[in-house]
Chain A
Amino acid sequence: MREMTLPDEARTVAQDFESFFRAEYRSLCQALVLLVGDAFEAEEIAQETMTRVLERWDRVGVMDSPAGYAYRTALNLQRKRIRRLAVRTKRRFASVPVADIGPAASDRHDVHRALQELPDGLRAALILVDWLDMDTEEAGRVLGLKPASVRVRLHRARSALRDALGETS
């Protein structure tokens, strides 16, 4: 791995931040892969999220849940990105066939397609709770929803996902 040249102060901040990064980055990326359906889009958002967390690490690092801050930042970035991608995405989905790159990838595409068909709010609730193992209260804080609303969304999302994938509950 390439070694960065950083001033002393920046290095200290970066070292503190690094342990957080190592612990959370992979999970954040995976959650975003599920959320946006595209690995590179996901990693781009994850990179920008972590950069923002690093820039505010003096404040974020002392929070009760820096990871919660990161996920909220990521969700906000994703929402804004979705709006801006809307025009291009519409065109792209209209003109590009879904890739067929083998059974494993096909399986992945099925899940992504099913996830992308869920409304944003349902998808986010599902990923926070069922993938990241947050409880509905934590997920509610990230999403700005009451826990009961998260539970309702969760139920709908699970049902829709199973229906779309033809699985039985």
Chain B
Amino acid sequence: MSETKELLRRGVGEFEPMPDAFDRVLARRDRKRRNQRAAAGVLGIAVFALAAIGFVRLLGSEGTPAGEPRSPFEGTWISTSDPDGGTQTMTISVSADGAVEIVVTDDIATVCSLTPSTMTGTGRIEAGTQLVIPEPEYTCDDGSVPESLSGPPLEEQLRDWTLFLDPQTDSLSDGFGGMWHREGAEIPSPDPTTSGAMWPQTSLEEVREAQELADAGDPDYTWQLDPNLAAWPDSNPEEPWGAEIFQRFSREVLGWEEFSGFAIEGYVPEGGHTHHLGGVVFIRCAPGRTNPLYPKPYREMPPAVRGCAPTIDDSRYETVRFDLEQEGRIGPSGIWVVTRWELLQPAGPYSTFDHLYPDFAQSQVEQTAPPSTAEVTAFLQEFLAARVDGEGAEDYLRHLAEGPPSPDEEVPLLYATTGGTPYERSEIERVQGPVWPAGWSEFKVRLFAADGTVVEQSFVVIRQEDGRLGLVYGFPQTDGFPTTENGQAVPVPYSILDGEVTFAAAPPWSDTILDRTFTVLGGVGRGSASQFTMFTIVADPLTGVGCEAGPPAADVEALVRSIRSNPDLEATAPVAVSLGGIDALQMDVVAAPGASDCGQIDRLSAGQDGPTRLYLLDLPEGMSARILAVAISALESEFEHVVEAAAPILDSFEFHTR
């Protein structure tokens, strides 16, 4: 075995797939068919991963005029939670005309090579508890240029910098993990009773002694033996919520009278026995109380949670996460101990993504009242009415996460069919939901145009942080085509060079690389041949021969010369064509016999696995690149078929000079 493989084997460890993996795949496929959708992935996650949802705390809050006197944001705030150890001081002032201004100083700024920095900005207060600074200005006090250590440029990372006010603790959080307290306020220290170490023994020595006593049949220790836990999940895939150590720990350590376990993040098997359970999550239930937000057990609600009312308020559950391990002996005769535990804290703020993909083992479980059927129906009808009316539908839409959405997250055909015919009526079909704890529901909507065209799309209705409903297009793990027109998939619009070049590709074309100057689509081709299909677009490709990359070509003619002089490539003579109304040259390229691996045109994979058709064009003046190269590559047996499938993409090219 190679050295690297041995390293990787250590990474895999004792991992074994779930024993019922095959049945789960069949069930997932059936569920997809049943729903005519692919929501199964989320349901699968839901078995193991739960999360807190917290948008009801802002329910009903309306926008606060920025000029409101005595704004709760006003004042001086201190943060010492910066990982670099620095202290940040923020002054927030609200002027009479409503403008909010901030000044943040940091005595140790990582992005300024650990020298002091200052950030200033103006912003607005939203929903009463959020202060948004659209474009903060960040400067290093020594005059150097702040430099982001990872990810996008700093100004992009800071755009729409938002502070979230927690009125109960009078503190601010900034979404990057920073916590802010008022200057002079006492910073609360962690409650020592919210976490703990090993239980019921407190050391490995004690565990060894307890193991001996359990072996000898001492009833004070034999309860720590649990062959069912050691055999889970092979013996029974149902989670072992009734295990005595769970029960005793919840009652004796936490003092909980009623509780419900419903998530196990992971387990570690060895020699056919499970000896470690990680991220076991229990929630506390209020005795004798009906869940006020979910009084009836909805179909998608986990059975373990049905009938469990929260204890903190109507939304929040006391939530504990703990790990279990057989520290002394592995197998049915080994005793189990809790090795660590902690009461989970609220997480927030939550993105739409968090609502749809809750992670229950990371934060306090928090439920949201599901909107009533009447509310959801009215909301969807408003949205669809806006689409029929031809304006305002965008206001209802939300994206999964921060940052620009990928092209397939944008809703196509918002106001009209591809033929431009407006809609005249619509219908709604509930697919699933409400799904606990966020209370979202999934719907299919159909829009009917006067010419008989039917557009069908899927949306999830979620309750947002501000209490209002919002729509998420498609579904995060959908396998189908989120929009169809008369049953046919609708092309997804793409662009490169920041929108200067646009085009559209219908599924099964799908993106694999999306970059400002480099995009690759794939997914087309019969059978395994689809693996070799690539529709590649590169702006300003480099020239070069062999393994030496040259400079970007000055123009298409120079690029063509470079390709034709490349000894690793055989290229046809260029033919004049038009792409998106611009003159272009088309040529076919294959690898020359005995070609080296370096005989490629920059990122275009030309001739790598089969023939490649190239389209090369000089971009119009005023665009941010000089040349655009489009390559269609496929196995020789598939080439004509793929070229045909790519024709609609080529026809869709448009160029937008600024």
Contacts and interface: CB of A to CB of B under 8 A. Distances in A.
A26 B7 CA distance: 18
Q: Give the residue among B3, B5, B29, B598 with the most A Cβ atoms within 10 A.
A: B29
B295 to A, nearest CB: 30
B17 A25 contact: yes
Given A4-B23, A95-B177, A87 B609 contact: no
Contact of B29 (A1, A51, A141): A51
Contacts of A126: 4, 8
Contacts of B168: none
Contact of B278 (A86, A91, A101, A110): A101
B54 to A, nearest CB: 14
Nearest to B175: A91
14 contacts: A1-B23, A4-B23, A21-B22, A29-B21, A33-B11, A48-B28, A87-B402, A92-B362, A94-B83, A101-B323, A127-B8, A131-B5, A158-B4, A169-B3
B4 A54 contact: no
A151 B547 CA distance: 14
B39 to A, nearest CB: 11
B477 interface: yes
Interface string A86-125: 1110011011100101101101101110010000000000
Given A46-B17, A101-B325, A105-B276, A144 B29 contact: no
A161 to B, nearest CB: 6
Given A33-B12, A51-B29, A101-B278, A72 B531 contact: yes
B44 A47 contact: yes
B10 to A, nearest CB: 5
Interface string A1-31: 1101010000000100010011001100110
B276 A102 contact: yes
B8 A91 contact: no
A74 interface: no
B354 interface: yes
Nearest to B608: A146
Interface stretch (B67-75, B111-119, B305-313, B520-528): B520-528
B339 interface: yes
Q: Give the residue among B18, B23, B176, B522 with the most A Cβ atoms within 10 A.
A: B18
A111 B7 contact: yes
Given A94-B177, A101-B278, A86 B401 contact: yes
Contacts of A50: 21, 25
Contacts of B45: 44
A91 B278 CA distance: 20
A3 B354 CA distance: 34
B325 A29 contact: no
Contacts of A52: 479
Interface in B225-269: 265-266, 268
Contact of A63 (B18, B83, B479, B527): B527
Given A47-B44, A92-B359, 13 more contacts: A21-B25, A25-B22, A29-B15, A48-B41, A50-B25, A51-B28, A63-B528, A69-B528, A94-B176, A101-B323, A101-B325, A108-B11, A148-B598
Interface string B334-371: 00000100000001000101100101001000000000
Contacts of A55: 29, 32, 479
Contacts of B354: 88
B4 A51 contact: no
Interface residues of A, number: 79
Interface string B518-540: 00101000111011101000000
Interface of A: 1-2, 4, 6, 14, 18, 21-22, 25-26, 29-30, 33-34, 39-40, 42-44, 46-48, 50-52, 54-55, 59-60, 62-66, 68-69, 72, 76, 79, 83-84, 86-88, 91-92, 94-96, 99, 101-102, 104-105, 107-108, 110-112, 115, 126-127, 130-131, 141-142, 144-149, 151, 158, 161-162, 165, 167, 169
B160 interface: no
B23 A167 contact: no
Nearest to B25: A50
Tell me the interface secondary structure of chain A in the complex.
helix
Contact of B605 (A30, A42, A146): A146
B177 A30 contact: no
B420 interface: no
Nearest to A141: B531
Interface string B446-486: 00000000000000000000000000000011010000000
A102 B326 CA distance: 11
A52 B510 CA distance: 15
Contacts, number: 191
Nearest to B402: A87
A144 B41 contact: no
Interface string B179-221: 0000000000000000000000000000000000000000000
Contacts of B18: 43
Given A50-B25, A108-B13, A148-B598, A84 B400 contact: yes
Interface of B: 2-5, 7-8, 10-30, 32, 40-41, 44-45, 48-49, 83, 176-177, 265-266, 268, 276, 278, 323, 325, 339, 347, 351, 353-354, 357, 359, 362, 400-403, 406, 476-477, 479, 510, 512, 520, 522, 526-528, 530-532, 534, 596-598, 600, 605, 608-609
B25 A47 contact: yes
Nearest to B534: A144
A34 B266 contact: no
Contacts of B44: 44, 47-48
Contacts of A167: 3, 7
B8 A131 contact: yes
Nearest to A137: B609
Contacts of B406: 83
B528 A51 contact: no
Contacts of A68: 528, 531
A96 B49 contact: no
A87 B351 contact: yes
Contacts of A144: 512, 520, 522, 534, 605
A91 to B, nearest CB: 7
